[in-house]
Structure 1
């Protein structure tokens, strides 16, 4: 037993990485070093984009979020390559992934009134990253196996690791983490400071809380589901702000915030129609959905969410030429959006344009590596192109990942057996 404990202790020491806590400056040990934390966060960015209906397809809007985020991030102790995205979803929320990837929802900006409110929310999300809350969650849930899991993430193209099988599960956990009272308290303390140091009025966060509380009487904003807001928390934030010098010049608002919000308000009817169309598709009312999507695209032709959903409907109705063209357009608007890349690859496969299909399906695989249909159709493409080994590899992965309900399993097994000479 003594030898076993010594071996276990040695394994823990080897597994741990020595680093410095940027908040305290103290030397600490972690199972998840910063470099690996960043890789994990980066791995899940496309999943977060896909789950939130793609990135908003406007360069000025994206640049505004990037500039605002970076302005605040410069005043955080963790010096990471922070990335900021505005996603299409109407949900009133913002969230972060480990390693410094911050997402702001379209619905959040439409709900806020001033730039200091948005700055307060972004600063709060940056605080979660700086306090390593995501990393600590991964360490707690996955323990020492996290090191093996990380290796599995980046070996998925040649191996089947548990991390690939659990890719979606881990991603869902990271995207919708519910923070503890202590974590929220720490994020409030740091976020107020980050916003203030960046020149923003920290009372903007309190104004945001008031908006969320008011909304909660009708429908609970998603931000409150993952960031609980008891009255004690509001009182504590007020006390934090009282300790700051509020007499100096602080940014409350900007014309640019209102210009960006006006852009989102102008396209809001297009996205409203998109969500109505999604409801129709869920009820198998595809014709009604198409009518709504046509109206949506008349209002905003670059609505990549509507383009993607329309492509899906047309492809499901065997209208491969038109459906593929729409998917290609949506993919060109957002190269991190999984669905249109998969739909374009599927469409080109149906049109027997196998090389073009491979291009989009390989990109789809890079974005979200655990979707079995991608591997099946890649197998079909490579088989048609005479690349037997690649066809075999993709059929094997498809069968490894499938839940058995995709409809192509029998065909994949048959083709794999034939190619392997069974």
Structure 2
């Protein structure tokens, strides 16, 4: 019999054998166990980079030259990094001061952080920090810790009796879904600070900017400014200890000085600073819209447009407000403008597709919704596309779309479950009405019938008998003589028995019929 210590040793060895290998960290030079190969890092970053940007406001496209400027600063640093990756840099259209890196060197910085920085060296400090997170495999290591723990649990489950592990969710919600806002360890943050400053020196920037940046972060954190606390601080918590460590690192580097680029940076973000009030009004409009204050929301978004008339997000929001107020053609006009200004952002396409579907324009709706889903898979998009397919008489396609939407636990997911039942219940009742088996105290089979269809059902019939390769071989069949409401269950004691537990395990039950209770 294995002791607990020996069992754990077996578990760790099994997990290491399944996933592990030794590698030298390209940044620190330390030997470490690497479970995630570089090919998987690159694949995860590539797969998630687009959807994550979409989910966080999309790219800031008003000023292509500003995006190019940030890419040039990032490229200058990437050239001197210790690990050559396909680095990419983007600006997200979000007011929250934040920046993040995915495995494989996919890096984003928010519009809201750019306006808080003072010079190019501070921008370099942010980007170098994120480059190190990617180059030193910090995100991959966080994944590995999760994989290792899961691997250990699976191995222990095999040894101790079995556990069921399931990964349920929409696209882009599996491995790596929390990587952009994860809390790195203190060691990871220290490494990203220290090696990031070394990268700054190699690229010719003044590393003292990293000290000034952390001092600003600490001051804002101590002031508990809400926007900052919900942004960069969530994943990169500042502290006075980090300021002191960064200052020591600058001294260790010999106080080299270097490029600061204040005038260059201020010129690059001049328009962003000038239009900051527009984005503040837009954020206030979004809050008012969410709270149902439509007139306030409209006034705020109109002010935003008057300041920055080339921002697609403003017209997209105004279109949603118009649709909520009266759903007239003015809403479509604003959504058309939003799509024209930024054809690569999912939200206005999704809303316009929904409106076209409601108006009976199934062709236009289908184009918009498919394009929206290609940018960011959403329950709303799949649900609306299911309705389009159903209206076109494409029942099998509609069922497929509703099935995808139904994986969401949102209200839209629940609505999709109901639509599925309406289309598919008669053909596949066992998908929506579940069964479970048990034994009564006197040894007779008991069947539990649970309605998971999301709608009330009637005329439920259940087949019970020995399990076979094709399912259940009918021995008895019974019906439920009542309407079974959504989420409700009943238990039926059969006349099969008495029998032993081992014999009962050879029996199964399946729902053979169920109808909507209209």
- TM-score exceeds 0.5: yes
| 1:164-215 Cα distance to aligned partner (Å, 9 max, x none) | 3595586662222112211111111111111111111111111112222332
Q: Is the 8 A contact 2:124 2:205 kept in 1?
A: yes
Q: 1:59 corresponds to which residue? A: 64
Q: 1:155 corresponds to which residue? A: none
Q: 1:93 corresponds to which residue? A: 98
Q: 1:366 corresponds to which residue? A: 374
In structure 2, C-alpha distance between the alignment counterparts of 1:8 and 1:346, rounded to whole Å: 51
**Aligned-residue CA RMSD (Å):** 3.1
Q: Is the 8 A contact 2:122 2:210 kept in 1?
A: yes
In structure 1, C-alpha distance between the alignment counterparts of 2:255 and 2:184, rounded to whole Å: 29
Q: 2:144 corresponds to which residue? A: 139
Q: CA deviation at 1:404?
A: 5.0
Cα distance 1:25–1:336, how it changes in 2: closer, same or farther (>3 A)?
farther
Structure 1 residue 294 corresponds to structure 2 residue 302: yes
Q: 1:239 corresponds to which residue? A: 248
| 1:223-258 Cα distance to aligned partner (Å, 9 max, x none) | 23322222222222122112225457x211154411
Q: Is the 8 A contact 2:83 2:135 kept in 1?
A: yes
Structure 1 residue 355 corresponds to structure 2 residue 366: no
Structure 1 residue 261 corresponds to structure 2 residue 269: yes
Cα distance 1:347–1:260, how it changes in 2: closer, same or farther (>3 A)?
farther
| 1:124-157 Cα distance to aligned partner (Å, 9 max, x none) | 11111111111111121243869xxxxxxxxxxx
Q: CA deviation at 1:85?
A: 1.3
> Which of these residues, 357, 376, 386, is aligned with residue 383 of structure 2?
376
> Which of these residues, 20, 34, 41, is aligned with residue 38 of structure 2?
34
Q: Which runs of 5+ in 2 are unaligned?
A: 152-165, 430-514
Rg larger in 1 or in 2? 2
Q: Is the 8 A contact 1:392 1:419 kept in 2?
A: no
| 1:333-386 Cα distance to aligned partner (Å, 9 max, x none) | 4455332232122122123222332222223323333x2222121112223344
Q: TM-score, normalised by structure 2?
A: 0.70
Q: Which runs of 5+ in 1 are unaligned?
A: 147-160
Cα distance 1:326–1:230, how it changes in 2: closer, same or farther (>3 A)?
same
Secondary structure at 2:91 match in 1: strand
Q: 2:201 corresponds to which residue? A: 196
Cα distance 1:227–1:330, how it changes in 2: closer, same or farther (>3 A)?
same
Q: 1:346 corresponds to which residue? A: 354
- Which shifted more, 406-415 or 5-14? 5-14
Q: 1:392 corresponds to which residue? A: 399
- Structure number with higher strand proportion: 2
Q: CA deviation at 1:18?
A: 6.8
> Which of these residues, 305, 319, 326, is aligned with residue 334 of structure 2?
326
| 1:13-48 Cα distance to aligned partner (Å, 9 max, x none) | 354467653225677653322222223233333443
Report how many residues are paired. 406
Q: Is the 8 A contact 1:96 1:125 kept in 2?
A: yes
Cα distance 1:307–1:219, how it changes in 2: closer, same or farther (>3 A)?
farther
Secondary structure at 2:309 match in 1: coil
